[in-house]
Structure formats: structure tokens, C-alpha cells
């Protein structure tokens, strides 16, 4: 493929290596945002990089979906996303889990038209390691590298439901369970009772416990030793995720998680 070198103005004239303009521009966006702690608007990026607003919009949209850029809540400024810093610290097991779960997430998104994610436990938080966004998901918040509370999110509860009493106490016993909405479970006794139901059902739900207007369901993934190593989840707004869908999506998600667990060497015929 022959690429016009004039399309890559930032390359040294001494370099004759070909480049892709879209990749160059995406890197330009990241490098520019990295130098501005207060963030930049779409107009700022367009002007400073001397590219059309439409081009800047597509670049930003793509980088946001992948978690490399995030936008301030309710604002117009864009910032470097958590995924950038997480790239350098990503562990081999996490990368393997991401590669393993991503095809399943894409299938879930295609089937149910809901955003699908995979998360792992990092300290006392859940961290998204893979995502397949639905184009109908206008709420954002499902970027790779995002950290979330475990007591009020579906994936978080799926990740901690099978912990021993001792491990759960070590993880959350000395932490205040923040209340985000009237549905948030904010006490350890209530949370333990809720986790017991998750173990019985094989999946966890989030009915507006973290954000009003948002529902989700998640199921745990087990490794060959029977330990939970990740959780997969689908989420959506109330208009597309009616309450009755918990009963529909929960068992189906548990089946998908069970299939992923089998790929990790878990030979159990049940969900656990």
C-alpha cells in the first residue's frame, strides 16, 4: 500500500517509513490531552490539531469507547482516560481474560443490544478490563480501566459473592458502604444476605443501586480451582432494561459465564 508522506507532516523527513494518518491523528489527540490537565473541548482539539471538527469527533468517539479518553460528567471537556495508565500496568492474566471474554461480550451486545463488560477484583473495587458498548448506551461509564464500588454494582457483587466470610470481612469490614441511591445496600448484614442470594441464583443484579435510571446483571467466572477470577455484565437504561428482564438475562448470562469458566479449566457441571 502506498501512502502519501504529505499526510504525515509530523514525521521526520529523514524517515521513509509509511504511516496511517488516522493512527497519527489519534496519537496526536492523546499526546495533546496528556499535556492539558484541565481538559480540552472538541473545538479546542479541532483548532489545535488543525483538523475538521467531524474528524476530531470520530477520533474522540473511538478513543472513548476504548477507554483512552473520558469526558467530564455533564460537561464538554475531554481528558486522558484510565485505560492509558492501565496499559502499562496490565498483567498477563488480565490480558488473557480480556482476550477470552471479548468475543462473548460482543455476542451479548449483539444479542441483547445492551452494553457488556468484563471486570476483575482489584483491592476493594471492581475494574473493567473489557467492554463491548451498545450504540444505544448514551450514559457512558463503561470504559476500560474504570474502578467501581463492589457493594452497589452487579459485577462487583458477582466478584465478591463467593468470598469466604473472613475474606469478605477483610475486604469490606473496615470500609463504610457508601449510599448512592435509595436502593443502595449500605450495611454489611444486608449485603451478606444479598450475596447469599447471588450464590443461590448464579447471578447478581443492580436495580438502580449505583445510578438512578440504570440497571445491570452480572455473573461470575471461575478458574480451574473454583475461584472467581472475573465477572461479565450487561447494563442498560430503564427504557431498554425493564425489571422483568432480570429473570430473562440473569440465567443466560450465567450460562455464558459458565462457558467461559470451562475455557479456563473449570469442569464443574453447575454454575459453581
List the domains of the chain with CATH numbers: 5-84 (1.10.10.10), 90-263 (3.30.450.40)
Tell me the C-alpha distance between 215 and 246, whole Å.
9
In angstroms, what CA-CA distances link 193 with 105, 157, 161, 197, 242? 29, 12, 10, 7, 24
pLDDT at 129 over 80: yes
pTM of the model: 0.68
Among 13-17, 84-88, 89-93, 241-245, top mean pLDDT goes to 241-245
Query: Minimum mean pLDDT among 92-101, 123-132, 184-193, 255-264: which range?
Result: 92-101
Residue 122 has pLDDT above 80, yes or no: yes
Q: What is the mean pLDDT of the chain?
A: 84
Beta bridge partners of 127: 120, 147
Amino acid at each position: 500500500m502506498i501512502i502519501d508522506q504529505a499526510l504525515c507532516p509530523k514525521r521526520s523527513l529523514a524517515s521513509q517509513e509509511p504511516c496511517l494518518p488516522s493512527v497519527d491523528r489519534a496519537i496526536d489527540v492523546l499526546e495533546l490531552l496528556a499535556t492539558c490537565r484541565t481538559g480540552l473541548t472538541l473545538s479546542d482539539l479541532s483548532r489545535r490539531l488543525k483538523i475538521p471538527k467531524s474528524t476530531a469527533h470520530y477520533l474522540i468517539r473511538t478513543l472513548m469507547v476504548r477507554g483512552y479518553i473520558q469526558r467530564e460528567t455533564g460537561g464538554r471537556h475531554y481528558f486522558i482516560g484510565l485505560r492509558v495508565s492501565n496499559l502499562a500496568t496490565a498483567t498477563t492474566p488480565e490480558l488473557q481474560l480480556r482476550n477470552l471474554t471479548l468475543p462473548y461480550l460482543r455476542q451479548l451486545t449483539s444479542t441483547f443490544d445492551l452494553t457488556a463488560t468484563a471486570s476483575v477484583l482489584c483491592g476493594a473495587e471492581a475494574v473493567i478490563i473489557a467492554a463491548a458498548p451498545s450504540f444505544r448506551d448514551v450514559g457512558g461509564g463503561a470504559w476500560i480501566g474504570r474502578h467501581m464500588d463492589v457493594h452497589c454494582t452487579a459485577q462487583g457483587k458477582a466478584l465478591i459473592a463467593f468470598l469466604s466470610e473472613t475474606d469478605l470481612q477483610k475486604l469490606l469490614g473496615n470500609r463504610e458502604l457508601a449510599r448512592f441511591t435509595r436502593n443502595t445496600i449500605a450495611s454489611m448484614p444486608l449485603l451478606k444476605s444479598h450475596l447469599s442470594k447471588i450464590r443461590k441464583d448464579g447471578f447478581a443484579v443492580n436495580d438502580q443501586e449505583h445510578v438512578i435510571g440504570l440497571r445491570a446483571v452480572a455473573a461470575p467466572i471461575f478458574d480451574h480451582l473454583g475461584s472467581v477470577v472475573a465477572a461479565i455484565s450487561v447494563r442498560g437504561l430503564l427504557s431498554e432494561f425493564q425489571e422483568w428482564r432480570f429473570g430473562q438475562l440473569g440465567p443466560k448470562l450465567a450460562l455464558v459465564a459458565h462457558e467461559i469458566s470451562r475455557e479456563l479449566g473449570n469442569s464443574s457441571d453447575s454454575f459453581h
